[in-house]
Amino acid sequence: MFEGWGISPDDWYVTGEASMVLGGYPVDYRDGIIDVLICRNAWPWPRPEEVGNLMPDEGTKAHGEFEAFVKKHGKTPDLHPLPHVGLRAEDRFEHTYWLPDESGVRVAYPWVQALHRKTIIEFYEESSTLDLDVFDQKKFIRWKEFIETIQDYGRSIGDEKAIKACQLALPACHRAIAFFDDDTYYDHKDGVVTGRSAYDGVVEGEVRHWETGEDFTGKIAVLTHLTPAQVTTLRHAAGIITDQGGTLSHAAIIAREYKIPTLIGTGCATRVFKVGDRILLHTASGEARKLV
């Protein structure tokens, strides 16, 4: 698929859980996601510098090829640009995994996985304009479990570099998880939730929570968070509200991509709004409220 888009094998590599599996580490795939880092200057379609996720434009031949890949393989590539936080395009933090047909796939080393996540957390902790709330707590819980798996297996095979990297990264994960447990982080009252607009709009509709196979057409999807695997189902929703996530979350990216009014980082929407509730979503004012 990438070669058809003019992206050479030297311009991308697999990271995350998929790279660990290819490298022999026994970790689970995250909802069928394959994390891929691509050199930004190799991406054939212009994207603003602040865009942290790459996706072919809807309606294009490339977008059709992307969806066909997902349908055929049951895995969704989550495409991110290099340079990335803590990683530069010119750095070589990967090795080649050779497939049975003798074609090679570049995958990131286990120790890089741990230190990369540590660097991302520290970047947002120290930023004067951004904070950890551009993500969601579930991401950091997943990172912690991922790094613990690397550490445990690294100990079993004597991978000292991976063990040391995990020891350095885990305290950062614990801090990131604790950040969202602060009771002062969220502000809401009965029947009303507040958050941050990811895409402005006003819409009234019926609430639906996530269930596989659910039809969200014309409905307002109320979710803990959003994953790439849910995009195909949710792109026809009238609106989206999430408990967690910030400007770099998948919900925010999808909102801008498909122009769906979306409120992120409410902290409590899935508890306040039940399936079947009729609500008014006014993202510009950062508010969603239950209608009587």
Q: Average pLDDT for residues 156-169, to the nearest whole number?
A: 92
Q: Which residues lie closer than 8 Å to 249 by C-beta, 6 or more apart?
A: 134, 135, 136, 198, 225, 226, 242, 264
Q: What is the pLDDT of residue 233?
A: 85
Looking at the predicted structure, is the pLDDT value of residue 187 above 50?
Answer: no
Q: pLDDT tens digit string along 273-285?
A: 888 999 999 998 8
Looking at the predicted structure, is the pLDDT value of residue 186 above 50?
Answer: no
Q: pLDDT tens digit string along 215-269?
A: 899 999 999 888 877 888 888 899 999 988 777 788 888 888 889 999 998 878 8
Looking at the predicted structure, is the pLDDT value of residue 20 above 70?
Answer: yes
In contact, 255 and 221? CB cutoff 8 Å: no
Q: For residues 99 and 102, what is the distance between their CA atoms, to the nearest angstrom?
A: 5
Q: pLDDT tens digit string along 26-78?
A: 877 666 788 888 888 888 887 776 666 678 887 889 989 998 998 888 888 88
Q: Average pLDDT for residues 14-28, to the nearest whole number?
A: 81
Peptide bond between residue 48 and the one before it cis (omega within 30 degrees of 0) = no
Beta strands in the chain (DSSP E): 12-15, 33-39, 76-82, 94-98, 104-108, 188-189, 192-194, 196-199, 202-208, 220-223, 239-242, 262-264, 278-282, 287-290
Q: Average pLDDT for residues 117-127, to the nearest whole number?
A: 85
Q: What is the pLDDT of residue 103?
A: 64
Average per-residue pLDDT in the chain? 82
pTM: 0.62
